[in-house]
Structure 1
């Protein structure tokens, strides 16, 4: 499984118009493409950061969608008032305890490890991080996407609400410290986002 994420730092006044365009136009349009398996939209209204992630059943399908995706992305960026950053990933791990509901909140963490430590980091997320997350009240789902060549990765952990995420902040900090220690990871960035759209049909991978 593979994914493409597009990040735009939007004007706060344009976020709602961008959400409408992605829901009404981008999502239905991509659904028609071969190999498409889902879309999510994360929004941090405090900073204006909007992250659209589309999932594909193969690397070939993801690459074949580029022209269509570029057109949608350019228009979305015009609406949002920002320049997009695009990354393509392998979906290395995915676990869903239950489906998200309105009000769900996501902790997103970008990190990097040495190339030779990528597999160890993936195994650690699957075998240690996910079981630990399952013990947290309000945990909904988790995913890890990686670029094995560069060692870059992004982990997303979804909770039922912003309050559930706040309740588990200390536990999340402890898990992050363990990841840094065990995988030799360098944390590059982190943010908390509202899960605005979640139409993912990605199968369990953890």
Structure 2
């Protein structure tokens, strides 16, 4: 399974307009495309930063959608009021403990490792980190996306609410630190977002 993420550093004042555009125009359009299996949108209402991620059955479906999605991406960036950057990923880990509801929040972690170490990192994350995340109060789901060309990975852990996410901070920080050290990975960034849109049919891998 593949994913395409579009990150827009937008204007906080434009977020609601951008969310409505993605929900009302982008989502219905991509739902009709062959191989589409999901879309999510994360938003930081303080900074205006948004991450819109679409999921596809395979590389061919990802590539078939590229031209039409490009125009919608440009329009979303224009509405949100900021530049857009695009990344392609492989969906290596996806686990849902239960569905999300309005008010859910997500903590996203970006790491980098040597490309040849990614397979071992993916296995270790699924076997050792996912079961520990399940024990955190308010935990909903987690995904791990990777770029096997440059060794980058991004994990997104979603919680019922911002309070639940904040309550998990100490334990999640410890898990992240220990995992990065054990895998020899470089921690690039950690950021938190509101989960403002989640329409996912991506099959679980764990």
- For the aligned pair, the TM-score class normalised by the smaller chain equals over 0.9
Q: Aligned-pair distance for 1:67?
A: 0.4
**Bigger shift: 111-120 or 159-168?**
111-120
SS of 1:127's equivalent in the other structure is helix
Runs of 4+ in 1 over 4 A off after TM superposition: none
- d(CA) in 1 for partners of 2:71 and 2:177? 40
> Which residue pairs with 2:81 in the alignment?
81
**SS of residue in 1 equivalent to 2:187:** strand
Matched, 1:26 2:14: no
1:15-164 equivalences under 5 Å are: 15-164=15-164
Determine the C-alpha separation between the residues in 1 that align with 2:41 and 2:85. Answer: 15
Return 5+ residue gaps in structure 1 as ranges: none
Measure how far apart 1:187 and its partner are: 1.0
The CA distance in 1 between the partners of 2:119 and 2:178, in whole Å, is: 16
Q: Please give the alpha-carbon distance, in whole angstroms, between the structure 2 residues aligned to 1:154 and 1:104.
A: 19
Partner-residue secondary structure (3-state), 1:14: helix
Partner of 1:201: 201
Q: Measure, in 1, the Cα distance between the counterparts of 2:132 and 2:30.
A: 34
1 CA distance for matches of 2:116 and 2:58? 24
Deviation at 1:117, TM superposition (A): 1.1
Q: Distance in 2 between matches of 1:63 and 1:110?
A: 24
What is aligned with 2:186?
A: 186
Aligned alpha-carbon RMSD (Å): 0.6
For normalisation by structure 1, the TM-score amounts to: 0.99
1:72 positional shift: 0.3
